[in-house]
Chains A and B, each alone.
Chain A
């Protein structure tokens, strides 16, 4: 069976207490707490694994312990040609440990595998599990005014209907940025709201003259607590729609990943036609996401002409989505067991027409952009992600493929209809902004061909089956989908009835952020926004704003509380002193 080889090899290194199989390509090995760093390091570097996700879980009601699951995608190191394992051996191996609720301490894996850093910081935020030896112990996801000693994802942490009292709304919360040593280094803040970055995220650039020496950042300005929401009050029927709202761009990929995780946890196979349509919709999503990012990468460098052209073409991809699903962005199409909407002959014919338009026009505009020397000067050699850094931090999507590593979930772990589809993984050497945009351009082409193949191969079966729930709270499974920005991994543990016990949703950008710091180094301030943009980041809304009225020459900070009070009562506008 798949995965056995890895479990056997792992057994020679550390003592394995228990092995359980979740799905044909997923297996979990329980190891001793002290063996954790070595087990993960061995699978990561020696066996060629990438860290897909890490799931902390409160299992006190099941086995009186907290648990950690390090899920590794085994696909070979891929640093040089031939460093890849055979297609039929690729799988997911999860290393599991149990942590006693009295000590709450586990040995940190980060010193050995840097990719774990964010996951282990988050484990403290959400569950209060302390990673011993973790170099960076700052808060990651919770806001700075969140009360200490309140760990929201513990099952007994709080009554979810109420909000906790924040430490102090009126004070500016403190956050310690990591600052490099040295004289003459100045801080340049970028964000939380900055004109070149379209969403809030706070970057501190440490500059010597015009050159960025190092950088640090604070994100998660609007962590929405969706995992908690799903655990508490959602059933599987509603969860797909919630997952679709994780992200404004790769929403559909999240919806599929979430629903497929639940389907795998109950061992449900969906009809082939539904699989094909899921692939079609997610490829349409890729078309519009990649066009968006290529357009923005032109816009950030001031090439508005190209930006407008690319967005003109992007409109066709939105039209295509509207035609196929009835919504331009939220497709609302996936449910447990299959899909809600089929495709008819008319829709297929019309889709093929639009695809042809997209294909030809993209080619035309891309040729013109490549011809533009000034554009190339801004893209080439900027924001380089070194191959070794990419190996250490497990980034995903065009980010890692732009660094010459052939990592694509559709190819490594073919899900849904991808087993029957031929396509080339787009890989470009170089690791700079240009390489990443090139990967996106190549994927635009492969997406068009994938959709066409789906139309051809789509069988005439039903699009939905009735799910039969075999409820067992210990059942869990991973589902993985290659979203436009990279692999999205969802993990679901069943709860009682039709509810989840724990839902862990790991979006693509989560794996991409930690290595961004290395991409900044050595570039100029002017390129900072471009580098962030080429990562195709996905961040959420803000918590406070400053309003400056240039007429009356007054300014005022509107706090979280002001805004909330006003939205509840619609009285005492916080802006009234300004007028």
Chain B
């Protein structure tokens, strides 16, 4: 009994004055994911990797925008999104104070991206930024001017139209030229 009191004396006061004195977290702490809209290209890699479906990347109702949405209430702070994002648009921050009042919308963060329409069928299929990003990647990859121009057109065609075109090439009996 007295021994325990002696130990108390030895260590003195160890309580942190939280919240007046901020709590210092370790490096690499996994807190609330922070989203940087300007870097996001709408590739949806994070949405696919997220185990708890906290992130969704879908078109809005009239398909005029691609909506990236994050629901902090579902997030389990695993950091998968951080791992897979190609542009570093989402990173786990050091923030851990997440309480909100009785208002679900305070937990939700969203970003709306402009959509890219298909040059053939005119339907939206991706985000403009994603197409631009893919093109930039190609131009850095030492591709000839001519091929780059082709690729520019090709990137603006939606997957469905690409498929249709491929099938058409095959069935038309024309000889395929593979370089």
Contact = CB atoms under 8 A, between A and B. Distances in A.
Interface in B15-55: 25-26, 28-30, 51-52
Contact of A322 (B14, B25, B77): B25
B51 A319 contact: no
B29 A326 contact: yes
Interface string A287-324: 00000000000000000011001001000000100110
Interface in B31-87: 51-52, 76-79, 83
Interface residues of A, number: 26
B79 A332 contact: yes
Nearest to A312: B14
A374 B4 CA distance: 13
B29 A322 contact: yes
B15 to A, nearest CB: 9
Contact of B11 (A312, A326, A368): A312
A332 B76 contact: yes
B3 to A, nearest CB: 4
B137 interface: no
B123 to A, nearest CB: 30
Interface in A537-569: none
A309 B78 contact: no
Contacts of A237: 51
Contact of B4 (A242, A326, A369): A369
A241 B52 contact: yes
A4 interface: no
A165 interface: no
B79 A326 contact: yes
Nearest to B83: A340
A103 to B, nearest CB: 40
Contacts of A322: 25-26, 29
B24 to A, nearest CB: 10
Given A305-B4, A340-B79, 20 more contacts: A238-B52, A241-B52, A305-B5, A306-B4, A309-B4, A309-B8, A322-B25, A322-B26, A326-B26, A326-B28, A326-B30, A326-B79, A332-B77, A332-B79, A340-B83, A368-B3, A368-B6, A371-B3, A374-B1, A570-B102
Nearest to A244: B76
Nearest to B25: A322
A372 B1 contact: yes
Nearest to A335: B80
Contacts of B29: 322, 326-327
- What interface size band does chain B fall in? 20 to 34
Considering residues B5, B14, B78, which has the most beta carbons from chain A within 10 angstroms of its beta carbon? B78
Nearest to A306: B4
Interface of A: 237-238, 241-242, 245, 305-306, 309, 312, 319, 322-323, 326-327, 330, 332, 340, 364-365, 367-369, 371-372, 374, 570
Contacts, number: 59
Nearest to A319: B26
The 5 closest A-B pairs by CB, nearest first: A368-B3, A238-B51, A332-B78, A326-B30, A322-B26
Contact of B78 (A241, A306, A365, A368): A241
B176 interface: no
Contacts of A319: 26
B4 A372 contact: yes
A521 B17 CA distance: 45
B7 interface: yes
Nearest to A365: B7
Contacts of B26: 319, 322-323, 326
A365 B76 contact: no
A309 B77 contact: no
Nearest to B78: A332
A323 B25 CA distance: 9
A371 B1 CA distance: 7
Contacts of B30: 326-327, 332
Interface string B93-130: 00000000010000000000000000000000000000
A309 B25 contact: no
A365 B76 CA distance: 35
A309 B51 contact: no
B77 A305 contact: no
Nearest to B50: A238
